[in-house]
Amino acid sequence: MHQNQSIPTITVKKLAEYLIKDNSELQLIDVREPEEVKIAHIEKFKVFSLSKFPEWSQTIINDLDFDKETLVLCHHGVRSAQVCFWLLKNGFINVKNIEGGIAAYSLIIDNSIPQY
């Protein structure tokens, strides 16, 4: 997986606004590892750990909706950008990478989420 096109992004401020509203139309994906998610997480995100990509890459197509807005989170935004690129390449049409990842969310939006 490598990135050769620019991925649409969303700021953590915009994400926070989305999370306050009805977000049933959003698909929220966290690609961090289980041990990272135990330290810090945001409610409503579904975990698809990047290290388990071979396991979920075949089933994600059945689990998620290609047309729904899909927001992807990791620690700082690098792994999530890789997954965004893969999703876009595989038919998802409305995918955004969360700029700065959970580290930025913790810093700017919710200090109760631990930094690591």
Q: Which CATH class is domain 9-108?
A: alpha beta
Q: How does residue 3 score in pLDDT terms, banded at 50, 70 and 90?
A: very low
Q: Is the pLDDT of residue 106 over 90?
A: yes
**Structure confidence at residue 58 (pLDDT):** 86
- pLDDT, mean of residues 98-106: 98
- Residue 85: what residue type? F
Q: Is the pLDDT of residue 92 over 90?
A: yes
Share of the chain above pLDDT 90, in %: 85
Q: Give the residue extent of every domain in the chain.
A: 9-108
- φ/ψ region of 53 (left if φ > 0, alpha if ψ in -120 to 50, else beta) reads alpha
Residues with Cβ within 8 Å of 10's Cβ and at least 6 positions away in sequence, in order, are 18, 71, 96, 97, 98, 99
Give catalytic residues, as residue numbers. 74
Compute and round to an integer the Cα radius of gyration of the chain. 13
Task: Give residue-wise pLDDT tens across range 19-72.
Answer: 998 778 899 999 999 999 999 999 999 999 999 999 999 888 888 999 999 999
**Structure confidence at residue 5 (pLDDT):** 63
